[in-house]
Amino acid sequence: MNEYGESRPSVEWAVVPSSIGPLLLAATERGLVSVVFHADGPVREKALDGLRTRLGAEPVESASGRLAGAIRELSAYFAGELRDFGLPLDWSLSSGFNRQVLRELAVGVPYGAVVGYGELAARVGRPGAAQAVGAAMGSNPLPVVVACHRVVESGGGLGGFGGGLETKRRLLALEGVHPEPLF
């Protein structure tokens, strides 16, 4: 409880292995709130500090409870057994245009499909805002689950990716969109 008698949100987190490296998952009472790539040492600590600051709660390590479903679904996704996540999501780390774009991505670009930055901008009523869509992808607090790896350049290039281009290639290859590199 804070000084006004309001309960503070609680955040549970865990680092789980995946075929693209360790992922930090965090969830609140509302649902999965954060997925962080390459979650070793300093990356993990920076992510936890960010959650502490932005959510006003002390993250508690726990691989059960709120995160059990997320861990199970992500494991099935990386095993090629799950195409659609059914997790409750907490959108509180995203707002405005970014949230609008991410929600459209979540419902409008299915497994195995890709969309261009400009096309996604047009879908949310902002044609010509491709760069703003790129910024929204870069701020995505729920990568993999809200699949920003499915957003590519209109000319066929990969575009950018917060988890690194190799991670983006591997996620697209997992979904059958982009072949794995030969060497």
Reported as a single tens digit per residue, the pLDDT across 70-79 is 999 999 999 9
Under the phi-then-psi rule, with left for phi > 0, alpha for psi from -120 to 50, and beta for the rest, what region is 101? Answer: alpha
Q: Backbone phi, then psi, for 149, in 5-degree steps?
A: -65, -15
Given the residues 32, 35, 136, 148, the one annotated as active site:
148
For the stretch 100-145, pLDDT in tens is 999 999 999 999 999 999 999 999 999 999 999 999 999 999 999 9
Cβ neighbours for 49, distance < 8 A, ≥ 6 positions apart? none
Query: How far is it, in rounded angstroms, from Cα 15 to Cα 162?
Result: 18
- Quick: pLDDT tens for 37-88: 999 999 999 999 999 999 999 999 997 789 999 999 999 999 999 999 999 9
Q: Token pair of 174, please?
A: 């997992």
Is residue 148 part of the annotated active site? The answer reads yes
Q: What are phi and psi of 134, to 5 degrees?
A: -60, -40
User: So what's the pLDDT on residue 39?
Assistant: 97
What is the pLDDT confidence band of residue 6, given thresholds at 50, 70 and 90?
very low
**Residues near 68 by Cβ (< 8 Å), separated by ≥ 6?**
none
Coil, helix or strand at residue 100: helix
Quote the pLDDT of residue 5.
Answer: 46
- The C-alpha atoms of residue 148 and residue 74 are separated, in whole angstroms, by 15
